[in-house]
Structure 1
Amino acid sequence: MLLWINGPFGGGKTQTAHEIRRRLPGSVVCDPEHVGFGLHRMLPPGLREDFRDLASWRQGVVEVLDLALRKHDGVVIVPMTLTDPDHFAQTVGRLRELGHDVRHFTLLAERETVLRRLRERRFGRLLRFLAGKNAALRHQSWAVRQLDHCLERLREPCFAEQLWTDRTSVPRTADRIAVLAGLTLRPNNEGALRTRLRQARVGLRHIRFD
């Protein structure tokens, strides 16, 4: 089974994916952004537009996920924003055509909730400053510019099933996805402090410098 977790940038996809992986034995997170940023590195900086528009990205993601689903025994979890119905058909739809059990969920929240979550990411600015790079800051600014478009498009029926997360914690969102997908997660026995520290580590690992 593949769990595709969609949603706006800053909507909690990555945190939710890693929460499910933590509590679902045998599961793995496969992040299509790695393919996209690899393609970006091949291009001159001035040509690095939205990698989702590259047919090579969509084809590569399908090929890699098809391999993972055929060779890995556990659940594959994919946190990735898709807002274009054609791109959706060429990735999620194509994987379904190949015979895979793909469960798709879109995490939604009100605009101010997503903006607050993006602001909370700014703890990484010091690290980016010390590293002498500002690409991650540009990525965050790009995410804000894309927000209204994402929230509008992702409410469309083709991106079901939509889950509203404004008043739901990451562990509870993971629980909801598991129930809808027919999966059983280990109980969440973490305390609040440990959860915050672990989520901070996940966030740090996913700061983009390229």
Structure 2
Amino acid sequence: MIIWINGPFGAGKTTLARKLQERRPAFLILDPEEIGFVVKATVPRSASGDYQDLPVWRSLTIAALAEIRRHYPQDILVPMTVVRPDYLDELLAGARAVDDRLVHVFLHLDASLLRARIQRQAMHPDPVRNAQIQQWRTSNIDRCLTARARMPPDTLFLDSGIHDPDDLAGIILDKLAHAPPQCRGR
């Protein structure tokens, strides 16, 4: 099974993935942002500066899922914000081709709480770079929160503003335990 954890920057996707892995150590975590760093260091930047706009990032993300699945039977957690519907469709279709047992989760929360979380996060040791990252994340709050309305119909929506990571992990694991056999993880 592949569990794609989507939502705004700062909503708690990576924290949730780690919490799920704590509760089920067999879970593997693939962070497509790491692939983005490689892409940014390797090929010319997109006009927007966002590596998600580069088809090579999307195809490498799917290829990484495929290779991980080819070599490892464990369930895979993918914490990654993808809010452009065409990119999300492409990535989720690719993930389904790798493993048809796909769960798409979207974390949402109040904009003011999200803004406060972003301001508290230390994303980079260099204070100037950290401020740039915080500014970029903050500038994307509305775009990411309004994307909720465009998520696929089978998306599991969870409020990371009212549930802590332990609660969210419990909700997801409970859903998986009560899913039909063909949707349960290994």
TM-score normalized by the length of structure 2? 0.86
Mean CA deviation greater in 84-93 or 97-106: 97-106
* Matched residue, 1:153: 147
Query: In structure 2, the residue corresponding to 1:106 is in which secondary structure?
Result: strand
User: 1:109, CA displacement in angstroms?
Assistant: 0.2
**Counterpart amino acid of 1:28?**
L
Query: In structure 1, the residue corresponding to 2:152 is in which secondary structure?
Result: helix
CA contact (8 A) 2:6 2:82 kept: yes
* Matched residue, 1:128: 126
Separation in 1, partners of 2:55, 2:16:
27
In structure 2, the CA distance between the partners of 1:78 and 1:99, relative to structure 1 (3 Å rule), is: closer
Separation in 1, partners of 2:99, 2:160:
30
User: 1:68, CA displacement in angstroms?
Assistant: 1.0
**Counterpart amino acid of 1:148?**
D
Query: In structure 1, the residue corresponding to 2:126 is in which secondary structure?
Result: helix
User: 1:40, CA displacement in angstroms?
Assistant: 1.1
In structure 2, the CA distance between the partners of 1:54 and 1:93, relative to structure 1 (3 Å rule), is: same
Query: In structure 2, the residue corresponding to 1:5 is in which secondary structure?
Result: strand
| Aligned length, in residue pairs | 177
- Sequence identity of aligned pairs in percent? 25
* Matched residue, 1:172: 167
In structure 2, the CA distance between the partners of 1:71 and 1:118, relative to structure 1 (3 Å rule), is: same
**Counterpart amino acid of 1:10?**
G
Write out aligned runs for 1:1-210 (5 A). 1-43=1-43, 49-122=49-122, 127-129=125-127, 134-158=128-152, 160-182=155-177
Could you tell me which runs of 5 or more consecutive residues in structure 1 were left unpaired when the two chains were aligned. 184-210
CA contact (8 A) 2:8 2:108 kept: yes
TM-score normalized by the length of structure 1? 0.77
User: 1:143, CA displacement in angstroms?
Assistant: 0.6
* Matched residue, 2:181: none
Q: Which stretches of structure 1, 4 residues or more, deviate above 4 A after TM superposition? A: 43-48
User: 1:158, CA displacement in angstroms?
Assistant: 1.6
In structure 2, the CA distance between the partners of 1:68 and 1:167, relative to structure 1 (3 Å rule), is: same
Separation in 1, partners of 2:143, 2:48:
20
Separation in 2, partners of 1:30, 1:142:
23
